[in-house]
Structure 1
Amino acid sequence: MLPAAVYSWFVSLEIALAVVTFVALCFIVAPYGGRHGRAGWGPTVPARVGWVIMEAPASILFLIFYLLGDHRGELVPIIFLVLWQAHYLQRAFVYPFLMRSGSRMPVVVMLMAMAFNLLNTWVNARWISQYGSYPASWLGDPRFWIGVVLFVGGYALNVTSDRILRRLRRSKTAGAATGGYSIPQGGGYRFVSSPNYLGEIIEWTGWAIATWSIAGLAFALYTFANLAPRAMANHRWYQQTFDDYPAERKALIPYVI
């Protein structure tokens, strides 16, 4: 087991990456594929393949790192393990196969995302099963329940928002002039352009509260740093693409931005 001081350096690295990522994405739109896909980023792979490769370690390696911890058999850490796996099993092994076929992802983007997932997975898995302390009494702490409710609510918003997008792309309302895209309606899209991103930010904010840890906080900060600029880019794309895009709809936070 690494000394606590060394572990804290890895957490600090993740927080530093959040700052760098936020600044970079304020100027560069990451070409994950789909509406923001473009040439000039080197070799590409099918987006489905890219998503599986970069997200699978967050599920598989998390379990391996978790099982190395002294607290792996305790109730509260097991609950955290289930929450984490609920997100990443869906993200790595369900979501990619529901994506639109034909889109591609730059290999460099896939590798950068995979590298972050390796760091983040290790930081959080080791915290909940080794460095953190979660006796059964943590189940009675309001922070645990507030965090879990936020996590579950954010997960539901994320998944249902993705489902609305998929159904929209399959419908006859999607026009060829906009690459098969049209204005999403219903659910969180009544309020913001990227409720799927908002849902994920809420999820990991809930994780940070439920685990009440610097590891969870680092992940929540990085999630916001990564997704908030992308939400703003999506919002600008919708406004530039559709003349009738709802003026009252915000980018990420209802009624605010």
Structure 2
Amino acid sequence: MEMLYHAALVIIVLMGLGTLATTLRQAGPYGRHMTPGQRFTMKARPAWLLFESPQWFSFALTFWLVAPPLAGPSGVMLFLFGLWQAHYVYRGLIYPWRMRDTHRQFPLIAVVMGFLFNLLNGFANAYAVGHADHLMTADWFTDPRFMAGLAIAVAGWLVNFQADTILINLRADGFTSYRIPHGGAFRWVSAANYFGEIVWWCGVGLMLWTLAGAVFVFFTLANLMPRALAHHRWYREHFPDYPKSRRAVIPGLL
């Protein structure tokens, strides 16, 4: 099992490097970056449900299979399990049902790659949580890394949720194209939803303090940063009045 865990981490790193190299040249062909007449697609809502779903069963099955067999999982482990599952209930189930642009398509290749990544990532992080010595006692709840990580994660989730809401409400009147988002973190960056997601996972990574958590933070950055830059360029190309003071994803920096 440990060999499989390390193999999963290596594959995730390679996937992150491949994603970074590919998306720096051209944004992934979904959402606003889809090409006209793109083939092999499916509806966006079931696509989200499908490729996020492994995080539920992969993480849960691995967690309960590798948790300490005698005493059972600690309170810290149970908290992190609940936090992980709650995030993916929102991301994979609630968020797709909040979407208004249900007519949009999603590439099948992105669904397949997302499914495989989430399968590996759910396994790796659950295995790490179940085996980390520092997570086996309640002392970790009062560790500065856990407390700082929790504060950062909550802030990131709130930014992400608000950004999702702003983007969803842009189509509340039935509008089916794109508009300039305003409010929340969109005051400073073009990809406020990605900014919130990055902050969230940096906070969770700090709370976990595991190699698997750090690898996931790396993949998140490799995946979302280039896409945020592509969004920023797209907005500037399509809206002459786009706010010039906005950055792409990190306020005041990038």
Q: TM-score range by the shorter chain?
A: over 0.9
Question: In 2, distance between residues paired with 1:91 and 1:7?
Answer: 24
Q: What is aligned with 1:183?
A: 180
TM-score (norm 1): 0.92
Residues 1:24 and 1:209: Cα distance change in structure 2 (over 3 Å):
same
Q: What is aligned with 2:25?
A: 27
In the TM superposition, residue 20 of structure 1 has moved relative to its aligned partner by: 1.5
Question: In 1, distance between residues paired with 2:36 and 2:178?
Answer: 20
Q: What is aligned with 1:89?
A: 89
Give CA-to-partner distance per residue, 1:16-50, whole Å, 9 cap, x none: 221121111101211223x2222465311100010
Residue-pair matches, total: 249
On the 8 A contact 2:194/2:228 being kept in 1, the answer is: yes
Question: In 1, distance between residues paired with 2:87 and 2:226?
Answer: 22
On the 8 A contact 1:11/1:123 being kept in 2, the answer is: yes
In the TM superposition, residue 219 of structure 1 has moved relative to its aligned partner by: 0.2
Overall identity of the aligned pairs, in %: 36
Residues 1:209 and 1:84: Cα distance change in structure 2 (over 3 Å):
same
Give CA-to-partner distance per residue, 1:32-79, whole Å, 9 cap, x none: 23x222246531110001000000111232112111122353100111
Letter of the 1:97 counterpart: W
Question: In 2, distance between residues paired with 1:182 and 1:10?
Answer: 39
Question: In 1, distance between residues paired with 2:5 and 2:60?
Answer: 18
Question: In 2, distance between residues paired with 1:55 and 1:228?
Answer: 20
Q: What is aligned with 1:109?
A: 110
Question: In 2, distance between residues paired with 1:44 and 1:254?
Answer: 34
Structure 2 stretches of 5 or more lacking a match?
A: none
On the 8 A contact 1:42/1:108 being kept in 2, the answer is: no
Residues 1:146 and 1:131: Cα distance change in structure 2 (over 3 Å):
closer
Residues 1:102 and 1:132: Cα distance change in structure 2 (over 3 Å):
farther
Question: In 2, distance between residues paired with 1:49 and 1:169?
Answer: 19
- Root mean square deviation of aligned Cα: 1.6
Answering whether residue 121 of structure 2 is matched by residue 120 of structure 1, we say yes
Give CA-to-partner distance per residue, 1:137-180, whole Å, 9 cap, x none: 111110001111111111111111000011112248x5xxxx52
Structure 1 stretches of 5 or more lacking a match?
A: none
Among residues 129, 152, 155, which one is paired with 1:153 in the alignment? 155
Give CA-to-partner distance per residue, 1:110-141, whole Å, 9 cap, x none: 00111111111100011102355411111111
In the TM superposition, residue 203 of structure 1 has moved relative to its aligned partner by: 1.0
Counterpart mapping for 1:44-55 below 5 A = 44-55=41-52
Question: In 2, distance between residues paired with 1:70 and 1:116?
Answer: 22
In the TM superposition, residue 8 of structure 1 has moved relative to its aligned partner by: 2.3
On the 8 A contact 2:132/2:210 being kept in 1, the answer is: no
In the TM superposition, residue 215 of structure 1 has moved relative to its aligned partner by: 0.4
TM-score (norm 2): 0.93
Question: In 2, distance between residues paired with 1:40 and 1:114?
Answer: 24
Question: In 1, distance between residues paired with 2:38 and 2:178?
Answer: 23
Letter of the 2:235 counterpart: Y
Moved more, 239-248 or 62-71: 62-71
Q: What is aligned with 1:9?
A: 7
Letter of the 2:164 counterpart: D
Question: In 2, distance between residues paired with 1:222 and 1:22?
Answer: 9
Moved more, 66-75 or 198-207: 66-75
